[in-house]
């Protein structure tokens, strides 16, 4: 009877440890309260699109995950990282602080952005997987979808939280000022199909990577579409997916047009 009691005690211990770990992890990635102090009015409540549009996901927060996040529509891509001074040579690559600019940022919010922006030639962050990144969309709240530079069209959108759950991996989530998300929908046959195409730079040159260090978060938004077709939707980054949610789209969004 002695050994069964030992096995039972060990089973109870590891089960309780696992439950405790999962509870703490779920607590860490609970969707925070989003505070928007910009008071901007959307130009359209829901986006009417009838073609496969280019994805528009911009960072509105980058940093540690807290219970409340202050949304910042002014975060934009910083200027290219300057080349190393010839006199510094190899030491330039060994001292990260030298790569950061000393001048004031061009747009408000850029200074905080530098810690989440790396040159692809100097850093090789990990791809997003289910083991290092969590994608969560909150359909009970709305924020805006606003281009950080052009500021032409403002769409009513759902907030999206990206959280690096890893304790050691730095994860790549985008390039320049674009986060690498696309939206997928189930078509009438029940098959998952993209209704957005990834943003691709026409010049073929990426200015830099947007990264999430361990235990850090990013905030962006997904445009709320309208249409006659109600279906399931989900967000995709690399091989990682968000949970599904209901929405309405136009069936034309499954087809690409020559629109840029």
Could you report the per-residue pLDDT of 37-66, keeping only the tens digit for each?
A: 888 877 776 778 888 888 989 999 999 999
DSSP category for residue 58: -
Report pLDDT digits (tens) over 5-16. 554 454 444 344
Q: Is the pLDDT of residue 100 over 70?
A: no
Q: The tokens of 14 are what? A: 């590891």
Q: How many CA atoms lie within 13 A of 49 on its CB side?
A: 22
- Taken as a whole, the chain contains a residue count of 260
End-to-end C-alpha distance for the chain, whole angstroms: 73
Residue-level pLDDT at 258? 58
Residue 133: strand pairing partners: 164
Q: What local confidence, expressed as pLDDT, does residue 97 receive? A: 44
19 sits in which H/E element: helix 2-28
Q: Which residue has the higher pLDDT, 178 or 39?
A: 178
Question: In the structure, what pLDDT confidence band is assigned to residue 199 with cuts at 50, 70 and 90?
Answer: confident
What pLDDT is recorded for position 108?
43
Kindly report the average pLDDT of the chain as a whole number. 77
Cα 147–Cα 141–Cα 236 angle in degrees, nearest 5: 60
Domain ranges of the chain: 1-30, 33-254
Give bridge partners of residue 241 from the DSSP assignment. 236
239 contacts 129 by C-beta, under 8 angstroms:
yes
pLDDT at 105 over 60: no
Q: How confident is the model at residue 205 (pLDDT cuts 50, 70, 90)?
A: low
Please give the pLDDT value at position 76. 58
């Amino acid at each position: 009877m002695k050994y069964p009691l030992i096995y039972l005690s060990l089973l109870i211990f590891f089960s309780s440890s696992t439950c405790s770990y999962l509870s703490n992890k779920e607590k860490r990635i609970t969707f925070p309260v989003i505070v928007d102090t910009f008071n901007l009015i959307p130009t359209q409540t829901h986006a009417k699109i009838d073609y496969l549009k280019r994805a528009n996901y911009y960072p509105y927060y980058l940093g540690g995950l807290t219970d409340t996040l202050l949304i910042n529509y002014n975060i934009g891509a910083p200027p290219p990282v300057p080349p190393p001074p010839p006199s510094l040579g190899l030491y330039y690559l060994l001292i990260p602080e030298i790569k950061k600019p000393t001048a004031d940022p061009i747009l408000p919010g850029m200074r905080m952005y530098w810690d989440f922006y790396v040159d692809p030639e100097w850093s090789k962050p990990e791809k997003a997987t289910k083991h290092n990144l969590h994608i969560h969309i909150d359909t009970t709240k709305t924020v805006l979808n606003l281009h950080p530079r052009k500021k032409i069209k403002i769409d009513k959108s759902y907030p999206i939280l990206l959280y690096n759950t890893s304790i050691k991996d730095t994860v790549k989530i985008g390039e320049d000022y674009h986060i690498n998300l696309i939206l997928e929908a189930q078509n009438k046959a029940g098959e998952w199909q993209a209704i957005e195409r990834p943003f691709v730079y026409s010049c073929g040159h990426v200015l830099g990577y947007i990264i999430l260090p361990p235990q850090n978060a990013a905030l962006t938004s997904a445009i709320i579409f309208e249409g006659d077709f109600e279906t399931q939707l989900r967000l995709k980054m690399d091989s990682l997916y968000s949970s599904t949610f209901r929405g309405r789209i136009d069936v034309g969004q499954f087809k690409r047009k020559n629109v840029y």
